[in-house]
Structure formats: C-alpha cells, structure tokens
A = this chain, B = another copy of it.
Amino acid sequence: MRRALQLASLGAGRTSPNPLVGALVLDAAGVLVGEGYHAAAGQAHAELGALAQAGERARGGTLVVTLEPCCHHGRTPPCCDAVIAAGVARVVLAMQDPNPLVAGGGSRRLRQAGIEVIEAVLAAEARALNAAFLQRLATGRPLAILKWAMSLDGRTALPNGVSQWISAAPAREQVHRLRAGVDAVIIGGGTLRADDPLLTSRGRRQPEPLRVVFSRRLELPASARLWQTDVAPTLVAHGPEAGPEARQRLARLAAAHPGLEVLALPQGTPAALLEALAARGCNQVLWECGPQLAAAALQQQCVQRVIAVIAPKLLGGQPARTPLGDLGLERLDQLPAWLPTAPRRVGPDLVWELNLPAAFGVH
C-alpha cells in the first residue's frame, strides 16, 4: 500500500476534480505484476493501468489500490467491472471513495462477485494524500491555502507601495512550486493593479493553474499580464453588486481578450467564489490576494492553510501595509487553533505554515 500511495502522488496537481489514486497488482504467488496511477482527469483510472500491465497474471492475484474502485459510469466505465473481469481473488483498499455515487458501493459489488475485500489499510495516509479532494467533497469548497510574503516586522510593502521583492529568489521559486500543486490561484483587483502579476507555476504544471481575479468594482487595467491567456487561463469573477457600468467595462475587456473568461457569482463573497471553483472541479486553490480579501476569506472559513514567507528585513511604515485586514477579533483566548509546522529556511527567508486541524482529512 505504501508503494500504491507513492504511485498515487505522481499525479499530484493534475487529477482534479478526481482524487489521486495509485494501484498495483500482485499475481497469485505474490509477485508484483502491474502498477498504475491516475495521471489526469479523463485519463485511465489507476486500477485499469495496473490490471492492463498485469494482464492474465492478475487472475487469482491481489489488487492493491489507494481508493475504493468506482461502480458508476463517469468519464470512464466503472472500474469494478474491470476488476471482476480481471479475475483477481482479493482487493486491498486504503479508503472508501467518499463520492456519494460510490461510498461503499464498489466494495459491495466486488464482494458480491466473490472477491475478498480488505479495507482501511493505511487509511490515514490515504486521507492525508487526498485532503484537498476530501475537503471539496465534504464542504463543497476546495482546500484553500493563503500565502503571503512579509518582512520580519509584518509588512507586505513599503509605505510607498513598493513590494518587489520582499522575499528572495529561492522562496519565490518555492511559490511557483506551490502553484504547480493547485488548480487555481486567486487575487483581487487591488493586487492586479498594484503588482501586474503573472501567477503561473513557470511551466511546472501543464496546464497552468487557472488564474482568478475576484473583483468587486471591476476597475481592471486594460493591459495586464493576466489577460495573455495563451500563457495560462484567466477568469474574472464578480458578484451581483457589480453595477451596469462595471459589467460593461468587463464586457469590453473580455471582447478585447477573447481567451478571458467571465463568471458572475450569485454572491460577491469568498465562499461563493470557492463554491463556483469547486463546481468547476477545483480541489485545491491558492489565495495570493491583499489584506481585505484575505481577511474575508479567513472569516468565511475559506482558508485551511496559511503559508507565511518571512524575510529578514525591516520595512516599517505608518500606516502599515500588512498581510491581513480586520478579522473582527476581540479576545486573544478565542482564536482558531492553528497548528504550526516546523519552520523552514528557504534561502535567506523563513517559511512558516499554519494548518487548521480538520475532521475530514489531514491537511
């Protein structure tokens, strides 16, 4: 099963809306005869790859798979049928598929076909691997990471707005890697106007994650690197509070940049945006936004992990540009219980992660 989990992780960042799945087949004598993993949505499921590799040697053998085989018709036919047809004697699973279309139905079907099914092997590890997928199924929203870079005195820019660069090249490269593991990167209109960011993984993820501008006023620049959608897809999302003039501005912008996608949300809130992104199949997203949007996202439980890059610099400033706006807190003994990881040095900078403990999966 550890090997199957390793295989599963090879698909990281490319399987959404599907989970990461790995599988292997042992023949009747216990010899490894096939391996597979789910490489991308629309491509073969892990079990099928492993069974295809094993061929006739699967008969009477064991299928080890990190997730319960599906029993429903999705983009691909049900895997259970293929498992039964392959003639394996035993299936070892790490966890049930939480998809309500499966949810134990796969295991039942296999048992009905006379196959021995052993469940919950390395279940915690499997849940941790698919924390983002589980988060989306449990809450209808993707697992969301909030990331910022700041000086040691908690500043995200100089008083005059200069912010490039606070962190050094190694930490900025690590942010590119972080983007390669998510399905969408979200900023607000202010960050777009201030930084004109590229927001890509610099080719580490293909296709690049969806770049999302979440704007209330839709006062967006006519020219921006995000409008070049040949590099990566871009979506502009707004709520119903955007007035007719703002929508006209956006329509003109979209007409000038045919690749640009526009999404009108039922509400102009971080929660509504994440629900829309989940519906589009995003399992995991990254907030790289300014303080007001970041604070709103935190207040709406739209952040499960915070990653702060801390540069050994002192920027000062009055008033201060800081990572977060008002969270509405009034007491220090009622803060959410964020769990810190061990801090890491990345070049000259320090990276510290906080995670919210979650009932439905280890983040």
Across the interface, name the chain B residue whose C-beta is closest to A303.
Answer: B314
Task: Check A158/B330 contact, CB under 8 A, given A306-B152, A343-B343.
Answer: yes
Once the chains are docked, how many angstroms separate the CA of A107 from the CA of B318?
Answer: 53
Question: B158 contacts A322, CB within 8 Å?
Answer: no
Question: A350 contacts B352, CB within 8 Å?
Answer: yes
Question: Does A240 sit at the interface, judged by CB under 8 A?
Answer: no
Question: A314 contacts B332, CB within 8 Å?
Answer: no
Once the chains are docked, how many angstroms separate the CA of A316 from the CA of B324?
Answer: 5
Give every chain B residue within 8 A of A153 (Cβ-Cβ): 150, 154, 308, 322-324
Chain B CB within 10 Å, residue with most, of A154, A159, A162, A322: A154
Interface of A is mostly: loop
Task: Check A332/B158 contact, CB under 8 A, given A317-B327, A320-B322.
Answer: yes
Question: B314 contacts A335, CB within 8 Å?
Answer: yes
Q: Mark A136-179, 1 if CB is under 8 A from B, else 0.
A: 00000000000000101111001110111110000000000000
* 8 A-B contacts (beta carbon < 8 Å): A153-B154, A155-B322, A155-B324, A295-B318, A312-B338, A312-B340, A313-B335, A318-B325
Once the chains are docked, how many angstroms separate the CA of A316 from the CA of B291?
Answer: 9
Return the contact of A319 from the options B306, B315, B320, B323 (Cβ within 8 A).
B320
Task: Check A295/B324 contact, CB under 8 A, given A154-B154, A306-B152.
Answer: no
Q: Mark A332-357, 1 if CB is under 8 A from B, else 0.
A: 10011011101101001010101000
* Nearest CB of chain B from residue A324's CB, rounded to whole Å: 4
Q: Mark A273-315, 1 if CB is under 8 A from B, else 0.
A: 0000000000000000001100100100000001010101111
Return the contact of A152 from the options B164, B328, B329, B352 (Cβ within 8 A).
B352
Question: B350 contacts A327, CB within 8 Å?
Answer: no
20 further interface pairs, Cβ-Cβ under 8 Å (given A312-B352, A316-B328): A152-B308, A153-B154, A153-B323, A154-B323, A158-B332, A160-B330, A162-B330, A162-B332, A165-B332, A292-B318, A295-B316, A312-B338, A312-B340, A314-B327, A315-B327, A316-B324, A316-B325, A317-B324, A320-B320, A343-B350
